[in-house]
Amino acid sequence: MIDIRRAGHATFTTPDLDRQIAYYADVLGLIVTERDKDRAFLATRTGLEAIALEKGDRPEMTRLSFQVAPETDFKAFAKELAGHGIKSEERNGISPGAARALVFTDLKGTVIELYSDYVFAKDDGKASVLTPLKLGHIAHRVSDVQKTVKFYTEVLGFRVSDWRTDTFAFLRCSVDHHTVNFVIDPAPGLHHIAFEVKDWGEMHRANDWLGKHDIRLVWGPGRHIIGHNVAAYHRNSDDIRVELFCEMDQMKDEALGFFRSPAVASGPAAAAEGLAEGYAAQLLGVSARTVRSRAIRRSRGAAVLNSAPGNGDGHGQ
């Protein structure tokens, strides 16, 4: 089984390269590590590549990279993929930080780039209001959730963290509650990408900063029931939905289960959780206490909150 360790970078085509570079660099605070007239790579100030941009006719996520263990045997991975009927090839120089990768297309049509050795990007020394830590997760609309989850778990080594009914799956490849999400939809495609920020204080600054750039939130800030991360969503000028989040559940020990941040119990984050409960209660036509009790039962291994994919908590449509 392929053992993926973390999300790498997502590649997008865009009809306006300069505008998207300005958004990711000047608004979100990423570093431009390499650029020419048709392409650019951007990384976080922690040195992790996060976004690649290429000129194209329309905005679209075309590729997604993941890091595997150093000194991985790509030939063994290629043989395993071939056993599932998937062709792959090795490519060099997929990004400034990844010299070699194994490339294939997954079941939902996304080009996947697996790389092992990585060279961290250097900070450019410029001041930034926002400093995202990493590209945290990528959510997709898919026509067959069960089949997609089967591929990502049995072939790529992801583990299922949560389901919402049988239509929305949350999978992890590291300690984070989820790195990829899959929701059923008759029109497959990208749902959103998400960047992790340090804490609620940075979330607050981020929302103010987005407002100063006339970028309005489409949901949040609030706390999700699944994953319990504080989150806020906006759309960039290419209409890509972008989430900023913090305080996601962590799986530090597979035998003991998920741990929640102490900040959940008090302070602004607790108020955000109340907002999420109130929002869900309004949409479901029940009391906030009912939403809270259902969430508690779910966290103890009982039923998941029974709602359709578009329940309005930012995880839906």
- What are the sequence ranges of the domains in the chain? 4-115, 134-299
pLDDT for 153 equals: 96
Calculate mean pLDDT across residues 122-151: 95
Calculate mean pLDDT across residues 177-188: 95
Share of the chain above pLDDT 90, in %: 75
pLDDT for 256 equals: 81
pLDDT for 252 equals: 87
pLDDT for 44 equals: 97
pLDDT for 298 equals: 41
Calculate mean pLDDT across residues 114-122: 95
Is residue 261 scored above 60 in pLDDT? no
Calculate mean pLDDT across residues 196-220: 95
Confidence category of residue 197, pLDDT binned at 50, 70, 90: very high
Contact at 8 Å (CB) between 42 and 33? Answer: yes
217: its two tokens = 């939130």
The pTM of the full predicted model, rounded to 2 decimals, is: 0.83
Is residue 193 scored above 50 in pLDDT? yes
Return the residue matching tokens 């009809």.
15
- The β-bridge relationship of strands 241-246 and 230-235 is antiparallel
CA dist 179 to 40, 122, 194, 249, Å? 24, 24, 9, 12
Do the domains at 4-115 and 134-299 have one common CATH topology? Answer: yes
Q: Is 270 helix (H, G, I), strand (E, B) or coil?
A: helix
pLDDT for 5 equals: 94
pLDDT for 308 equals: 33
* Cα–Cα distance, 6 to 65 (Å, whole number): 9
Calculate mean pLDDT across residues 18-40: 97
Calculate mean pLDDT across residues 206-214: 95
Contact at 8 Å (CB) between 109 and 144? Answer: no
In the CATH scheme, what is the code of domain 4-115?
3.10.180.10
Is residue 7 scored above 60 in pLDDT? yes
Confidence category of residue 258, pLDDT binned at 50, 70, 90: confident
Contact at 8 Å (CB) between 229 and 248? Answer: yes
Q: Say which residue, 57 or 273, is predicted with more confidence.
A: 57
Is residue 262 scored above 90 in pLDDT? no
pLDDT for 275 equals: 40
Per residue in 74-113, pLDDT tens?
999 999 999 999 999 999 999 999 999 999 999 999 999 9
Helix (H) or strand (E) holding 137: strand 134-142
Q: Say which residue, 308 or 222, is predicted with more confidence.
A: 222
| Pure H helices in the chain | 17-22, 74-83, 145-154, 200-212, 267-284, 288-299
User: To the nearest whole number, what is the mean pLDDT of the chain?
Assistant: 85
Q: Which of 196-205, 215-224, 299-308 has the lowest mean pLDDT?
A: 299-308
In the CATH scheme, what is the code of domain 134-299?
3.10.180.10
